[in-house]
Amino acid sequence: MSDQIIINSFRVMASVGVLDEERTRLQPLVIDATVDVDGEKSGASDNLEDTLNYAALVEAIDAIVQERHHDLLEALADEIARASLNLDARVSRAEVVVTKVRPPIGFDVDSVAVRRSLSR
């Protein structure tokens, strides 16, 4: 049995990008994360210890974003997906979407995003 824990639209300010202005100025990102977990035990027990605590997942994502600069959205998404898999042995798959709001590309684009999916 598999359940999904889904973090929707976690908004953070981060240092990400290759341009000088992106290295010196925090930018808004939106992060979505979905992890597949075995939910059979937690569904029956109604006990937090029998599942992945989604607050711990959000804290892990925030720590990665705040820890250091990433040149590429791909690198940030990969690091978050790997950390999500390693956060709890019950996680079998992690999918992360990192969206850069208002990218500095000189065109009328609301956002750009990268999706990374990893499985055990």
**What phi, psi does 28 have (nearest 5°)?**
-75, 130
Residue 97 has pLDDT above 90, yes or no: yes
What pLDDT was estimated at residue 58? 98
In a domain, 116, yes or no: no
In a domain, 118, yes or no: no
Give 49's DSSP letter: G
Average pLDDT for 1-26: 92
Average pLDDT for 80-85: 97
In a domain, 14, yes or no: yes
What pLDDT was estimated at residue 99? 98
CATH code for the domain in which residue 38 is found: 3.30.1130.10
Average pLDDT for 67-77: 96
In a domain, 43, yes or no: yes
What pLDDT was estimated at residue 2? 77
Say if residues 84 and 96 touch (Cβ distance below 8 Å). Answer: yes
Handedness of CA 64, 97, 99, 77 (dihedral sign): positive
Quote the number of domains for the chain: 1
Say if residues 99 and 29 touch (Cβ distance below 8 Å). Answer: yes
Parent domain of 90: 3-107
In a domain, 10, yes or no: yes
